[in-house]
């Protein structure tokens, strides 16, 4: 499979992960805009949109900058409206808001990937604007599929919760590994052993979850022997985690909505 030329606006960790996935699929010569001037296979990077070749006509423009700088970074991309599809991975920035910045002719897809995209194990949920053609949606699906699984929704409002659950989700899992390591050290384990146990336990459990067709609750129960050590630990965690997770996801969802204002 070969991907047509694209323009990547913003070359941070997510942008770099996406570019690496596209290169593996045979991306045609493309360009990126980033003030740091980072290069990647098959992608030439410039620091400003004015430095792009006048003849360059991308099939897609990927908006991967921080949402807080969208008002400055996005309007210069108007020149590609009417030809390219705009694929935004900016948290909180709505289709209507992006349309205001890009003009009425812009075909916009809003998506939320997550950082396992760096090893092509991410998951992305996308929502297409009304002016996006079936061919443009297919192109966005291919671009996002290069970094993991893709799901589509027709309800844009769901992307705020998606941002909270899967967009920020890796950080919650990394926090679990961090806290497991700290707790192991507190119980007298050597630092290197506590670290190895925490990391492999989290990654191994994740792999088991991915490979199983059982619910997470069933897998948890399979580990929990009656009156055993795991049951004792879960009694402590279940007294706090369910409410804390609900409040955490609610706070992140609210923040995603705030970014659209």
pLDDT value for 1:
63
For each successive 10 residues of the chain (261 residues), what is the average pLDDT?
Answer: 88 84 85 81 86 93 92 94 95 92 94 91 96 96 94 96 95 98 98 98 97 97 96 97 97 90 66
Q: Which domains does the chain have, with CATH numbers?
A: 6-154 (3.40.50.720), 169-258 (1.10.3730.10)
Q: Which of 185, 180, 225, 168 is nearest to 205 (CA)?
A: 180
pLDDT value for 165:
97
What is the DSSP-derived secondary structure letter of residue 50?
G
* Pairing between β-strand 122-128 and β-strand 107-112 as defined by DSSP bridges: antiparallel
For the entire predicted model, the pTM comes to 0.89
For 226, other C-beta atoms within 10 Å of its C-beta total 5
pLDDT value for 67:
87
pLDDT value for 212:
97
172: CB partners within 8 A, 6+ apart: 248
Q: What angle do CA 253, 257, 260 make, to 5 degrees?
A: 150
Helices (H), 10-62: 13-24
């Amino acid at each position: 499979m070969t991907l047509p030329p694209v323009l990547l606006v913003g070359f941070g960790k997510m942008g770099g992960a996406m570019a690496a996935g596209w290169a593996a699929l045979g991306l045609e010569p493309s360009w990126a805009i980033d003030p740091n001037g980072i290069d990647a296979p098959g992608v030439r990077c410039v620091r400003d949109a004015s430095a792009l070749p006048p003849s360059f006509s991308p099939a897609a423009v990927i908006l991967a900058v921080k949402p807080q700088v969208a008002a400055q970074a996005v309007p210069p991309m108007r020149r590609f409206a009417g030809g390219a599809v705009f694929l935004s991975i900016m948290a909180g920035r709505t289709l209507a808001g992006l349309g205001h910045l890009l003009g009425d002719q812009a075909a916009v897809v809003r998506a939320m990937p997550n950082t396992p995209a760096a090893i092509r194990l991410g998951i992305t949920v996308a929502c297409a604007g009304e002016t996006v053609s079936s061919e443009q949606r297919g192109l966005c699906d291919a671009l996002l599929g290069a970094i993991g699984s893709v799901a589509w929704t027709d309800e844009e409002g769901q992307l705020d919760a998606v941002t909270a659950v899967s967009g920020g989700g890796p950080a919650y899992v990394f926090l679990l590994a961090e806290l497991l390591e700290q707790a192991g050290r507190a119980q007298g384990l050597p630092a290197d052993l506590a670290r190895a146990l925490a990391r492999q336990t989290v990654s191994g459990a994740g792999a088991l979850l991915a490979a199983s067709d059982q619910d997470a609750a069933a897998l948890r129960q399979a580990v929990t022997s009656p009156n055993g050590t795991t049951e004792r630990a879960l009694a402590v965690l279940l007294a706090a985690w369910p409410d804390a997770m609900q409040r955490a996801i609610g706070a992140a969802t609210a923040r995603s909505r705030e970014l659209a204002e």
